[in-house]
Structure 1
Amino acid sequence: MPTSNGRAPQPCIHKALLYINDTDLFLDEADKAVEVMQAAFQEADVDLKDEIIFLLGTLDQPEICMWLHAILADPAQTQSTRRNAALQLSVTAAALESPDELRAILLADINHPDSVVRRLAILALGWEGNQQSATEIARLTTDTDASVRQAATAALSHIAQEPLDQHAKEG
């Protein structure tokens, strides 16, 4: 099966496709699979990159979060790939036992001079129950960039969802 450039896929691409199509195999070989998937990411087209991001994000590992963060911050990646890394990072971070290190990195990113990095960091910080970041995110509702303001508002809404749901159950 040729890739979008007409060449035969690299062995790591072929193996990545096997993992994507057989999640049991992926989970059985998780340690090896992570290395293969990250190598394949470098050669992959945009669609395969997104599938790799979403599959690796299911592992809920701090190392995967740092890898996703690197994609989020990489201007060489497409906007959609960076956004998908931020979205997956938000989901994966919420499942971490201790997301403190990641939270600190993302909070530093919300002060980045590049508005795209700020917006994506806010998106990544918007995991349900991440009240520790709410004050810093709220500060960005007055950012000079409209997309950053919008991301901050959406993130605050998502962060507040858990307490609102709990209140509704008690009410």
Structure 2
Amino acid sequence: MSASIESRVVESGADDYVDEAWGLKEQIRREEGVLRQRRGFFKDAYRRSTVYCYVESGPKAPERLVGFAAVRRDGYILFLAVSPDHRGEGFGEQLIAQVADNHSSVTCHARTTNEPAIGFYRHLGFEVKRTIENYYEDGGDAYYLKLGASSGITECLSRLLS
């Protein structure tokens, strides 16, 4: 019997998978130099968000978080991460599609130097709305991105789900 991957939703106020999400985020930070947040900030924001998750489980292995998107009530994506082992399998796109399916507007920030993330978001139909200097604690700049700003979120969502 092989492992399976399931979609799950952690409602605001809960902390299911928060430690696993922190671990995944920290793995990406160490390997790629992005997703730098303080643990207290991360955990507080996670608990105040709705978190869309993909979790891998198998008959002889513990559950493992494959990816997650922590989202505020207004559709702003606070954190989005997919395990490097599962990139290119569509989990990031599906996470964005879930967010878009539940919100009339989907926005986020991305570090201006994080070219893979910016390429990913643009591929999905996000547009850079503005640049914010010194956005991050370390002085890094960010782009503020919005999904479907010119083509409409419904069109973007149907493209993501097809």
| TM-score normalised by the chain length of structure 1 | 0.30
Pick 1 or 2: higher relative contact order, CA cutoff 8 A, min separation 6.
2
| TM-score normalised by the chain length of structure 2 | 0.32
Higher helix share: 1
Higher strand share: 2
